[in-house]
Amino acid sequence: MNTAVVAIKSQKKIDFQRVLEPYLYLSPALIIIALIIITPTIVGFSYAFQSIELLNPFNGGWVGLAHFKAMFADRYFFSALGNTLDWTLISLFFQFFLGLGLALLLNRRFSGRKLVQALVFLPWAVPTFLSGLTWAWLFNPIIGILPHWMSSVGLLSEPYNILSDPQLAMYGPIVANVWFGIPFFAITLLAALQSVPSDLYEAAAIDGASPWQVFVKITLPFLAPMIAITVMLRTIWIANFADLIIVMTSGGPANSTQTLPSYIFTTAYRRLDFGYASAMAVMLLVLLLFYTAILLKMRSKLAKA
């Protein structure tokens, strides 16, 4: 009887340990995330409704929805919104299709494939500030060759820096972003391609299917889930990505390359207006959540149909 109680008690102790053990391993990660990501996010939400200007410390306090009202009257906010859309969609389009092309090319055996793979994936490892500077230099007619090439094929009337032309400046950071982002899509899609069972291809070859039919009927359906998830996540990531723009144009000339994240950064970093910056960040977050919700809804509808 007695021993049974002891056994139950020690059993309980073991259970207790077993229950607690995973949390023990998790706790450092959870604590640092709670302190450095979650707390500031909540604080950031509260800033959106306060006046916090470091250059104007006495002008503090709660202001309700004043920042959001100001936002709707701020034409730079709306132009930044439009630029964010251009920046995200154009970058994503080229990153995805060029990445898919590269993945298809690499999904074939040839000698030196490993080396080629390492070299074409290298841009991904280049620090983003350096990618931005390198491309900004390439667009500079004094030390860069791109303006000269563009003018000799007739894209530009004379070799000048497109980064200082409000009409064309956005293409500078977009090209840099495409260069940097192709490897990401190539790598994830290559991994998905390699998971397509090879007997399917063999069967298609026996049936005499054309390469295009094979791609549409076999390859694409296998890639579809991977494509759906990476494109969705990547859209959000690109929309939030401001480094290249800040380095190459800092939003200029005449705000022509200012996206929402770069505008938020400039408002916080240069104007030190934390309240307005946070209000715009909340708006950005709401828009991104909205986008995700629509996409998930569309996906579940498609799955049902």
First to last CA, the chain: 62
Residues 264-303 that bind another protein (CB under 8 A): 264-265, 268-269, 274, 277-278, 281-282, 284-285, 288, 292
Helix, strand, or coil here: 53? strand
Per CB under 8 A, the list member of 81, 174, 245, 246 interacting with another protein is 246
8 A C-beta contact, residue 176 and residue 163: no
8 A C-beta contact, residue 220 and residue 228: no
Contact between 247 and another protein per CB under 8 A:
yes
Nearest approach in angstroms of CB 203 to another protein is: 21
Helix, strand, or coil here: 161? coil
What gap in Å lies between CA 260 and CA 282, rounded to an integer?
A: 11
Nearer to another protein, 89 or 226 (CB): 226
Residues 166-195 that bind another protein (CB under 8 A): 179, 181-184, 187-188, 190-191
Contact between 122 and another protein per CB under 8 A:
yes
Per CB under 8 A, the list member of 89, 116, 200, 295 interacting with another protein is 116
Nearer to another protein, 1 or 29 (CB): 29
Strand partners, 50: 62
Per CB under 8 A, the list member of 6, 7, 8, 36 interacting with another protein is 36
Residues 126-155 that bind another protein (CB under 8 A): 126-131, 133-135, 137-138, 141-145, 148
Candidates 255, 254, 250, 253; CA nearest to 265 is 250
What gap in Å lies between CA 186 and CA 100, rounded to an integer?
A: 6
What gap in Å lies between CA 218 and CA 231, rounded to an integer?
A: 20
Query: What are phi and psi for residue 50, nearest 5 degrees?
Result: -125, 160
CA atoms within 13 A on the CB side of 281: 24
Per CB under 8 A, the list member of 6, 26, 216, 298 interacting with another protein is 26
Nearer to another protein, 30 or 298 (CB): 30
Contact between 205 and another protein per CB under 8 A:
no
Residues that bind another protein (rule: CB under 8 A) add up to a total of 88
Residues 64-93 that bind another protein (CB under 8 A): none
Interface region with another protein, contact rule CB under 8 A, candidates 57-65, 86-94, 122-130, 216-224 = 122-130
8 A C-beta contact, residue 48 and residue 67: yes
Nearer to another protein, 142 or 303 (CB): 142
Tell the burial category of 15 from Cβ atoms under 10 Å away from its Cβ (0-12, 13-18, 19+). exposed
Nearer to another protein, 2 or 162 (CB): 162
Per CB under 8 A, the list member of 6, 7, 8, 43 interacting with another protein is 43
Contact between 119 and another protein per CB under 8 A:
yes
- The CA-based diameter of the chain, rounded to the nearest angstrom, is 98
Nearer to another protein, 25 or 304 (CB): 25
